[in-house]
Every structure is written in C-alpha cells, then in structure tokens.
C-alpha cells in the first residue's frame, strides 16, 4: 500500500491540465454497450474507477481496445450474458450503469448492488422505479439486482428527488424502448448532458438533457460513434481550491468555465481571483482569504463533490464559515482528519462550522473517501511540516496522476510504499 508524503508551504504556480470527467466516463463507457456498432471514446481519464469499468466490460464479453492512453474502442457485439460478476461491481457505485445499459440492450440484466464512497444512505429505489415504469420486473437476491422485461415501453417517470445516477440509468434503459419516455425532475449535471450527447451521436433521440425534463424517443438501432468526454469539473475545482489555498497563481487548462461557475462564485467570495478564458482559467490570490457560507445542491448549485475541498480552504480563511451538505447524510467524515492538522471545525448533522485559523500543521491522516482524500491533499499543501496520507487508493479512484500534476505546479509531494503493508486491495 502507498501513501502520499507532502511537505507543505509551497505556492502552486504554473499550468495544470485537467483530464476527462470521471463521472461522465463511468456512464459513457457502459453506454457503448447499447451501440450496434463499435464506438471510439476519447479523453478517458486514467483512474482506477475507469479501469474497473473497462474490466467489467471485457469480463462480460465486450472487446475493448486501447487506441492510446486516453482513447478506447468498445465493440459490444460479442456480449452474450448480461450478468456482471459480483466481486467486480460491488465496490463501485457506477457499476449500476450496467443495469440500465444491459437492460436497454438485452431486456434483462444482473448486476451486484453498487458500492462506492461511504457518504451515508445510498438507496437505488429511484433507479428501480424507472426500470419498473418501462416494464421491467426486478429482484434483489444474494446481493444481485436482477431485471427482466418482455419488452421495454416508454413511460412517464417522475423522480422523487433529483438523482444523477437514476437520471443516467433512465436514459440508458429508455433509449431503445418503444415510444416516448419523459423523465421529470431530472438531474442537470454536465455529465448528464455529456451522456445524452454521446447517445445522440449514436442516433438516439434525446431532448432536454440539462433541464429538469428529458424526453427520449426510443430508436431500434444505434450506430457507432466517435466521442470525446468533457473535462472533469471536479478535478478542475480541486486544483482551483489547491491553488487558492496555497496563495498561488496558476492556469488550469482543458476546462469548460461554464461548468465551474458555482465554484468560481464561491472562491471569489473568499477573495480569490478567477479569470476565465475559452477553455482555461487562471486562479490567483493577492489578499487574505475570508470566510464564506456554502450549501451543496444539485447542479447548477455548488457541487457536493467539492464540499470537502472547500472546507479545507476555509480552515485558513479569516472568520467563521458555515458549510451545509444538501445531498448526502454523512459527508463530513474527513473533519476528524483535518482536526488532527489543527483545523477548528465542529459538525452538527449536515452542518459544519469552520473557524479560520492562522495555520495548519502536518500530521499522519487517512483518506476516508475520494473527495475527503482531495481535501487532505489540499490541507497537506498548506500545512507547516509533513503530512502523510494513507488509504490513497480512494484518491486514485478519481484523480489522474494527481501527484505528478501537483509536483508540476511546485508542490513537494511524493508517493511512498508503506513499509510492511501488503498490496492494496485497490477496488
């Protein structure tokens, strides 16, 4: 097992390039199952969640060719049995996209109940409600979700809450269903639009993605497509926080500034300067950071996946900031770790109160999930002395070459093997 060792105090300067979006890639790669011809997908991030998705695809019989480091060709014509093996899928959340994609293609699917970051209760009732509305029966037995439909027929689906995963699964399962499906109260995240664009480039008929009503008219045939995944909004946001926290001055390349608006707005409130260009932004700090309040919400609100990183920044902002988590029940597990570094944070349910301190100090800490790990990296970059972060497999699930990218920006960070540890069970 490895750990990151960071000596804090260096300002981040220079240029960093953002990779393709994790949460788009983990939906778009399984979506290639629906195509009746091979698809080429570009701008794929080299992260462990994507490797697992590709492994699952090949295990169920698809052929996946690496064309280069960030481009794959997926040919799903040889998939015979729409069952995803239990061990492969149960550790990651996005494995549930195989339910929608396999159901949409074969009218049946068997996939293990999804895992993923432990952020509190993560039911899949809205996914099942949608599959049922389209005509599928479901079973949950021995940890596996089974779906079966005689045929899929378009339906009206109203989601009780705004859910990214169920909105994506609704598109995947309805794209070849007979007739019209209308999804109401749909999620509007950039990766929802990206998936719709990918499916439409294959010949699907999806309208309204990015609004809260999505209309899908089923088609019989989906041709192959060549498609490039959007840049990762959360990776970009994480570098924005890291640059700001170190009082640095750097350019972040390969971004869609529009996707970063809610993050930019909050950073500007704390006194950070952000300048937008066509596909890059400059972030710099020339005055003391000040408090702000943040509430996480579905897009276009402030993303929950940026909440821990924002908290890390606010630990050293003047004044008292309040963070309210509006999506997940339990996304403050990283707070104990930040406290070890001298952060002054109290948590009551879904609300964290952060009193800015002059400095953090390095400490041994543990990444409790992916974005928590990113927050600890940011804290390590600003802390006095050395921070050692363990359980970094969480971080590597979602950030491509983060150590190399941070080093290039001037951070003092190395990855080291933990003496005496066995190989990480990296799933």
By CB under 6 A, tell whether 131 contacts ligand EPZ.
Answer: no
- Is the CB of 3 or the CB of 188 nearer to ligand EPZ? 188
The alpha carbon of 407 is separated from its chain's Cα centroid by a whole number of angstroms, namely 23
Starting at the edge strand found earlier in the chain, the sheet holding 273-276 runs: 13-17, 249-253, 280-284, 273-276
Which residues are 211's β-sheet partners?
209
By CB under 6 A, tell whether 124 contacts ligand EPZ.
Answer: yes
Candidate ranges 164-172, 245-253, 286-294, 351-359; the one touching ligand EPZ (CB under 6 A):
164-172
Candidate ranges 158-166, 244-252, 387-395, 410-418; the one touching ligand EPZ (CB under 6 A):
158-166
By CB under 6 A, tell whether 238 contacts ligand EPZ.
Answer: no
Give dist(CA 293, CA 270) in Å, integer: 10
Candidate ranges 11-19, 125-133, 225-233, 270-278; the one touching ligand EPZ (CB under 6 A):
125-133
With contacts defined by CB under 6 A, how many residues of the chain interact with ligand EPZ? 25
134 contacts 145 by C-beta, under 8 angstroms: no
The least distance separating ligand EPZ from the CB of residue 337, rounded to whole angstroms, comes to 16
Contacts of 355-358 with C-beta under 8 Å, sequence gap 24+, read: 355/319, 355/320, 356/289, 356/291, 356/314, 356/315, 356/316, 356/317, 356/318, 356/319, 356/320, 356/321, 357/315, 357/316, 358/316
The least distance separating ligand EPZ from the CB of residue 311, rounded to whole angstroms, comes to 14
By CB under 6 A, tell whether 398 contacts ligand EPZ.
Answer: yes
- Is the CB of 90 or the CB of 289 nearer to ligand EPZ? 90
By CB under 6 A, tell whether 76 contacts ligand EPZ.
Answer: no
- Is the CB of 205 or the CB of 329 nearer to ligand EPZ? 329
- Is the CB of 330 or the CB of 346 nearer to ligand EPZ? 330
By CB under 6 A, tell whether 163 contacts ligand EPZ.
Answer: yes
By CB under 6 A, tell whether 325 contacts ligand EPZ.
Answer: no
The least distance separating ligand EPZ from the CB of residue 264, rounded to whole angstroms, comes to 18
The alpha carbon of 150 is separated from its chain's Cα centroid by a whole number of angstroms, namely 34
By CB under 6 A, tell whether 327 contacts ligand EPZ.
Answer: yes
Give which of 168, 209, 170 is closest to 188, Cα–Cα: 209
By CB under 6 A, tell whether 183 contacts ligand EPZ.
Answer: no
In this structure, what token pair is assigned to residue 298? 């579905």
- Is the CB of 356 or the CB of 398 nearer to ligand EPZ? 398
- Is the CB of 166 or the CB of 225 nearer to ligand EPZ? 166
| Inter-CA distances, 312 with 309, 377, 378, 383, 412, Å | 5, 9, 6, 11, 18
375 contacts 335 by C-beta, under 8 angstroms: no
By CB under 6 A, tell whether 26 contacts ligand EPZ.
Answer: yes
334 contacts 325 by C-beta, under 8 angstroms: no
Residue nearest to ligand EPZ according to CB distances in the complex: 165
The least distance separating ligand EPZ from the CB of residue 289, rounded to whole angstroms, comes to 24
Q: Is 117 a catalytic residue?
A: yes
By CB under 6 A, tell whether 39 contacts ligand EPZ.
Answer: no
Give dist(CA 74, CA 186) in Å, integer: 28
Q: End-to-end alpha-carbon separation of the chain, Å? A: 13
Candidate ranges 36-44, 82-90, 117-125, 314-322; the one touching ligand EPZ (CB under 6 A):
117-125
- Is the CB of 170 or the CB of 316 nearer to ligand EPZ? 170
By CB under 6 A, tell whether 117 contacts ligand EPZ.
Answer: yes
Give dist(CA 91, CA 6) in Å, integer: 28
By CB under 6 A, tell whether 213 contacts ligand EPZ.
Answer: no
Give which of 174, 184, 129, 125 is closest to 153, Cα–Cα: 174
204 contacts 28 by C-beta, under 8 angstroms: no
Backbone angles phi, psi at 361, to 5 degrees: -125, 145
Nearby residues of 56 by Cβ (< 8 Å), 6 or more positions away:
30, 84, 85, 88, 89, 95, 98
Q: Enumerate binding residues for ligand EPZ (CB under 6 A).
A: 23, 26, 93-94, 117, 121-127, 161, 163-166, 187, 304-305, 327-328, 370-371, 398
Catalytic site residues? 117
């Amino acid at each position: 097992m490895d750990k990151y060792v960071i000596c804090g105090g260096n300002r981040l300067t220079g240029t960093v390039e953002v990779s393709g979006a994790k949460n788009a890639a983990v939906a778009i790669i399984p979506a290639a199952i629906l195509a009746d011809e091979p698809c080429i997908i570009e701008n794929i991030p080299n992260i462990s969640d994507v490797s697992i998705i590709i492994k699952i695809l090949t295990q169920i019989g698809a052929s996946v060719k690496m064309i280069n480091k960030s481009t794959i060709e997926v040919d799903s014509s040889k998939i015979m049995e729409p069952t995803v093996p239990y061990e492969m899928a149960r550790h990651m959340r996005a494995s549930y996209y195989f339910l929608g994609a396999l159901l949409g293609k074969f009218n049946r699917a068997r996939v293990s109940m999804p895992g993923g970051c432990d952020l509190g209760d993560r039911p899949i009732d809205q996914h099942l409600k949608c599959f049922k509305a389209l005509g599928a029966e479901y079973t949950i037995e021995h940890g596996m979700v089974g779906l079966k439909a005689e045929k899929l027929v378009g339906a009206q689906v109203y989601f009780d809450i705004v859910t990214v995963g169920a909105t994506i699964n609704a598109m995947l399962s309805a794209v070849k269903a007979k007739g019209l499906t209308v999804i109401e109260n749909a999620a509007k995240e950039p990766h929802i639009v990206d998936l719709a664009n990918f499916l439409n480039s294959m010949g699907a008929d999806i309208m309204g993605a990015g609004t809260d009503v999505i209309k899908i008219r089923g088609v019989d045939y989906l041709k192959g497509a060549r498609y490039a995944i959007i840049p990762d909004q959360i990776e970009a946001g994480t570098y924005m926080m890291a640059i700001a926290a170190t009082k640095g001055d750097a350019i972040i390349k390969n971004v869609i500034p529009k996707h970063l608006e809610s993050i930019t707005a909050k950073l500007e409130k704390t006194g950070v300067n952000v300048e937008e260009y066509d596909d890059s932004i400059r972030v710099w700090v020339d005055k003391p950071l000040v408090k702000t309040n943040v509430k996480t919400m579905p897009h276009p609100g402030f993303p929950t996946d940026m909440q821990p990183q924002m908290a890390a920044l606010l630990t050293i902002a003047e004044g008292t900031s309040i963070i309210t988590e509006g999506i997940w029940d339990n996304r403050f597990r990283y707070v104990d770790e930040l406290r070890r570094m001298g952060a002054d944070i109290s948590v009551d349910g879904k609300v964290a109160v952060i009193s800015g301190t002059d400095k953090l100090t390095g400490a041994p800490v543990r990444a409790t999930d992916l974005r928590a790990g990113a927050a600890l990296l940011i804290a390590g970059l600003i802390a006095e002395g050395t921070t050692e972060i363990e359980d970094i497999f969480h971080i590597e699930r979602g950030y491509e070459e983060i150590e190399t990218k941070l080093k290039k920006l001037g951070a003092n960070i190395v990855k080291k093997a933990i003496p005496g540890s066995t190989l990480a069970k990296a799933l």
